[in-house]
């Protein structure tokens, strides 16, 4: 509770003490502790009296209703856990990592589609990154040498007749380009 006393900041210590001693707080929005305790005791006594007045059948029906509510709650929790487990298995089968699969399964069971879609995008991005890395591993390195490493007229003339013939058979387009189409 905040106490509001006018000009409190500018008062001397003695004036502040006097103002605090004379201060009467506004308790209009509060309940006195004695009244609260009295009401709580009356409520407890009324509950006890109601239980005593209940017939055996009413008490049995109330107990059965409590047990039924508890069983329904357990069944709902079990159904939720079963659904999450099934969804998680399906996501794992699609290649999701375990943490992402569990997160997505729980979001799907709760109906949180924003999280489901965000997790699907994260999975898709991770798969694409892994695929690119795998393709990069499988790509052979480029051949050594620069752009002038192709066949030239000088290189061709330095070959034996047999090598020139094999080159013309194996690379007819390049052979024609070297000799100007002849």
Q: What is the pLDDT of residue 173?
A: 86
Predicted confidence (pLDDT) per residue in 59-78, tens digit: 788 889 999 999 999 999 99
**Lowest-pLDDT choice from 57-66, 99-108, 140-149:** 140-149
Average the pLDDT over 147-157 and give the result: 75
With a pLDDT cut of 70, the percent of the chain lying above it is 93
Predicted confidence (pLDDT) per residue in 5-35, tens digit: 778 888 898 988 888 888 777 777 777 788 8
**Lowest-pLDDT choice from 69-78, 101-110, 149-158:** 149-158
Q: How many CB atoms lie within 10 A of CB 108?
A: 20
Q: What is the pLDDT of residue 50?
A: 80
**Lowest-pLDDT choice from 50-59, 127-136, 163-172:** 50-59
Exposure pattern of 162-177 as b/e (b: 16+ CB <10 Å)?
A: eeeeebeeeeeeebee
The pLDDT of residue 147 is above 60: no
Average the pLDDT over 34-57 and give the result: 85
With a threshold of 0.75, does the pTM exceed it?
Answer: no
3-state secondary structure 48-71: HHHHHHCCHHHHHHHHHHHHHHHH
Average the pLDDT over 137-148 and give the result: 64
Q: What is the pLDDT of residue 162?
A: 92
Beta-carbon-side half-sphere exposure of residue 67 (alpha carbons within 13 Å): 6
The pLDDT of residue 39 is above 70: yes
């Amino acid at each position: 509770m905040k106490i509001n006393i006018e000009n409190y900041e500018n008062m001397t210590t003695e004036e502040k003490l006097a103002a605090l001693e004379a201060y009467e707080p506004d308790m209009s929005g509060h309940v006195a502790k004695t009244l609260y305790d009295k009401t709580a005791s009356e409520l407890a006594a009324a509950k006890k009296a109601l239980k005593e007045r209940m017939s055996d059948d009413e008490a049995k029906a109330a107990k059965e209703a409590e047990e039924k509510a508890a069983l329904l709650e357990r069944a709902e929790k079990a159904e939720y856990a079963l659904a999450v487990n099934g969804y998680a298995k399906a996501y794992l089968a699609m290649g999701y990592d375990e943490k992402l699969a569990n997160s997505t399964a729980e979001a799907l069971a709760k109906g949180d589609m924003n999280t489901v879609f965000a997790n699907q995008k994260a999975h898709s991005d991770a798969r694409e990154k892994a695929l690119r890395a795998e393709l990069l591993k499988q790509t052979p390195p480029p051949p050594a040498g620069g752009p002038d490493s192709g066949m030239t007229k000088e290189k061709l003339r330095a070959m034996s007749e047999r090598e020139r013939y094999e080159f013309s058979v194996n690379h007819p387009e390049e052979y024609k380009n070297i000799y100007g189409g002849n």
